C-alpha cells in the first residue's frame, strides 16, 4: 500500500494493513508504515465510508482490476504520480 499527502510534499509512505476491528459505530483500520518511517496509522470507517467504498469498487475500471488473477501474485508496478 502506498500513501501520499499534500502535507508531506512529494514524500511517499509504504505501508501495510495490520488489522481491522470494530469500536462502537466504526471499523478501525490499522496501518503500519515501513518506509521511510515506521508509524502506526489508524483510521475510523463509518457506515457512510463503507457505502462509498462499495460504490466506488463497482466502477468498471476497478472491477477489471479485480478480475486479473495474474496480477494478484506479482509485485505491483508503481502507479506513478497519484
pLDDT tens digits, 41-70: 999 999 999 999 999 999 999 999 889 888
CB 40 within 8 A of CB 29: no
- Say whether pLDDT at 81 is over 90: no
Mean residue pLDDT across the chain: 93
Q: What does the alpha-carbon distance between residue 42 and residue 31 come to, in Å, rounded to a whole number?
A: 6
pLDDT at 10 (0 to 100): 85
pLDDT at 49 (0 to 100): 96
How do the domains of the chain map onto residue ranges? 2-72
pLDDT at 71 (0 to 100): 83
Q: What does the alpha-carbon distance between residue 73 and residue 80 come to, in Å, rounded to a whole number?
A: 20
pLDDT band at 40 (very low <50, low <70, confident <90, very high): very high
User: Does a cis peptide bond (omega within 30 degrees of 0) precede residue 36?
Assistant: yes
Strand partners of residue 13? 3
pTM for the complete prediction?
A: 0.77
Amino acid at each position: 500500500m502506498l500513501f501520499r499527502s499534500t502535507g508531506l510534499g512529494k514524500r511517499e509512505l509504504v505501508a501495510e494493513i495490520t488489522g481491522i476491528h470494530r469500536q462502537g459505530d466504526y471499523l478501525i483500520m490499522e496501518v503500519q508504515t515501513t518506509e521511510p518511517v515506521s508509524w502506526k496509522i489508524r483510521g475510523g470507517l463509518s457506515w457512510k465510508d463503507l457505502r462509498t467504498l462499495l460504490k466506488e469498487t463497482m466502477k468498471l475500471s476497478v472491477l477489471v482490476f479485480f478480475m486479473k488473477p495474474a496480477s494478484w501474485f506479482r509485485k505491483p508496478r508503481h502507479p506513478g504520480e497519484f
